[in-house]
């Protein structure tokens, strides 16, 4: 073996240094390759109480863990030798366009996670061409969301309150602000038992424990944002003392039934969707009312623990009601491949809750944009590897659901 002295040009070819990124948020976001990476950044940058409020679920958190596991237990069946040089990820949902088959789920109290809150989410969603949903217990008004996302699609999520006139006033405001879809959430007759919030003293106003305060001190950026922006208040109501769960219980009307649903539907001019359907029987009853869509969801595992896994319900619900009613799904989506699997099994659309909030906590609007980039590039990659170039080509034959738990035969 002959040896020689290396020349500078040899090094230049094998060692290419990245231009340094001085902005710490941008540097962190660029290093996140998955939603799990964004979650890890969020855990480092956000005080424990709001992080746990987002990350946690009800009781033993089994509903959430099982829903995520169900997506991981997918086996894909790729078709080979297809031209996938161009992939179209766009779809029509509830009569309008979306650049990808996912939108941002409604989440409450969003500005405690990051001061940018719903405005950051709505602006990022609008720029990416996907719908944004505002919760009844959101921390930005419908008009504020419209301002942040003036040309994109905004959806409003309704919790029916005991005070019906007040509930419908907010709905009217959303309609006036151009929101094109109403999602009525039906899985919260009472609030679920979110134990992390009780342990952390996440009440309104906060009743902080020593541990919560100690944990929050090093999260300087969160504090600066929190203290130097408009105080957190609720878009639709104000002045509350108690835990989040107690607040929900005081507001929500546990008597709401199918007649009320029809009553709300009659008053809404746009697309009408019921969120939180968890059995085939209820899917049929809701579809019979003539709604435009249903969301199979167990509220991200934040309500009934050990609830049905929405992804497992999907094929039979699509088979039974999917011809006349759009079937959407959420709970447990952590990657673009999860979304592709859901679409293959007949979901028209999906919603992402925590995936969006991890991005928000990790870096405000830029963080939500990073969430959307990660999910959308995973969708494109999975579609190409499956050999499909449009969402319509995705079919049940592309996916097998490997099931760990099966019911005991009765
Ligand atoms: C922090 C947080 C707050 C939420 N607030 C609401 C809400 O106000 N209204 C609602 O209908 N759903 C709410 N959800 C449920 C989401 O809309 C969605 O169903 C759920 O997050 C989907 O599961 P995923 O987080 O695994 O994506 C919330 C979820 C989270 C994580």
Over residues 302-321, the pLDDT tens digits come to 999 999 999 999 999 999 99
Res 37: pLDDT:
98
Cis peptide bond upstream of 187, omega within 30:
no
Q: Atom 6 of ligand 1 has which residue's CA nearest to it?
A: 107
Q: Is 170 in the pocket of ligand 1 (CB under 6 A)?
A: no
Give the residue whose CA is nearest to atom 2 of ligand 1.
107
Range of the domain at 237: 24-401
For residue 196, the CA-to-ligand 1 centroid distance in Å is 16
Q: What is the mean pLDDT of residues 25-49?
A: 96
Number of independent structural domains in the chain: 1
9 within domain boundaries: no
Flag whether 406 is in a domain: no
**Segment 187-224, tens digit of pLDDT:** 998 889 999 998 988 876 666 677 777 888 888 888 88
Active-site entry in 77, 233, 299, 312: 299
Could you tell me the sign of the dihedral formed by the alpha carbons of 368, 374, 375, 379, in that order? positive
pLDDT, tens digit, for every residue of 337-370?
999 999 999 999 999 999 999 999 999 999 999 9
pTM: 0.94
CATH of the domain at 144: 3.20.20.70
**Percentage with pLDDT > 70 across the chain:** 95
Evaluate whether residue 320 is within a structural domain.
yes
| Rounded Cα gap, residues 180 and 293, in angstroms | 13
Question: Of the residues 71, 301, 302, 334, which should be mutated to test ligand 1's pocket, given the most ligand atoms within 8 Å of the CB?
Answer: 302
In a domain, 69, yes or no: yes
In a domain, residue 140? The reply is yes
Looking at ligand 1, which residue's alpha carbon is closest to its atom 14? Answer: 107
Within 10 angstroms of residue 198's Cβ, the number of other Cβ atoms is 13
Return the H-helix or E-strand segment holding 155.
Answer: strand 154-158
- State whether the beta carbon of 297 lies less than 6 angstroms from ligand 1: yes
Q: Whose CA is nearest to atom 1 of ligand 1?
A: 54
Whether 299 is catalytic is yes
- Is residue 3 in a domain? no
| 16 within a domain of the structure (yes/no) | no
Residue 12 located in a structural domain? no
The pLDDT score that the predictor gives to residue 235 is 66
Which two tokens mark 276? 């939180």
Helical residues (DSSP H) of 32-148, grouped into ranges: 35-45, 48-55, 62-72, 110-113, 117-128, 142-148
């Amino acid at each position: 073996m002959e040896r020689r002295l290396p020349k500078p040009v040899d090094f230049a070819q094998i060692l290419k240094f990245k231009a340094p990124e001085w902005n710490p948020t941008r540097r962190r976001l660029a290093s996140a390759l998955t939603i799990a990476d964004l979650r890890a950044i969020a855990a480092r940058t956000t005080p424990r109480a709001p992080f746990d409020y987002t990350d946690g679920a009800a009781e033993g958190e089994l509903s959430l863990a099982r829903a995520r596991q169900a997506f991981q237990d997918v086996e894909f069946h790729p078709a080979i030798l297809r031209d996938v040089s161009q992939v179209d990820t766009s779809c029509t949902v509830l009569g309008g366009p979306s650049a990808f088959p996912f939108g941002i789920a409604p989440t409450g109290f969003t500005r405690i996670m990051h001061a940018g809150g719903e405005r950051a989410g709505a602006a990022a969603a609008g720029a990416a061409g996907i719908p944004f949903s505002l919760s009844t217990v959101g921390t930005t008004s419908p008009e504020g969301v419209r301002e942040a996302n003036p040309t994109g699609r905004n959806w409003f999520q309704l919790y029916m309150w005991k005070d019906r006139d007040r509930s419908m006033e907010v709905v009217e405001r959303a309609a006036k602000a151009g929101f094109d879809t109403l999602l009525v959430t039906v899985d919260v007759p009472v609030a679920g038992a979110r134990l992390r919030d009780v342990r952390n003293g996440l009440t309104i106003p906060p009743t902080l424990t020593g541990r919560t305060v100690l944990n929050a001190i090093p999260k300087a950026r969160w504090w600066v944002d929190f203290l130097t922006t408009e105080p957190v208040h609720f878009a639709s109501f104000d002045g509350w003392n108690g835990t989040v769960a107690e607040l929900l219980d005081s507001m929500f009307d546990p008597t709401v039934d199918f007649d009320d649903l029809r009553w709300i539907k009659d008053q809404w001019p746009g697309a009408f969707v019921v969120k939180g359907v968890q059995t085939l029987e209820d899917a049929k009853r809701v579809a019979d009312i003539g709604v435009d869509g249903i969301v199979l969801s167990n509220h991200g595992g934040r309500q009934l623990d050990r609830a049905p896994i929405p992804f497992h319900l999907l094929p039979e619900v699509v088979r039974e009601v999917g011809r006349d009613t759009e079937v959407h799904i959420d709970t447990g989506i952590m990657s673009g491949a999860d979304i592709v699997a859901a679409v293959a099994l007949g979901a028209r659309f999906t919603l992402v809750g925590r995936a969006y909030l991890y991005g928000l906590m990790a870096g405000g609007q830029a963080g939500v944009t990073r969430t959307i980039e990660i999910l959308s590039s995973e969708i494109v990659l999975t579609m190409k590897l499956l050999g499909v170039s449009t969402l319509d080509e995705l079919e049940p034959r592309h996916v097998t659901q490997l099931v760990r738990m099966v019911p005991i035969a009765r």
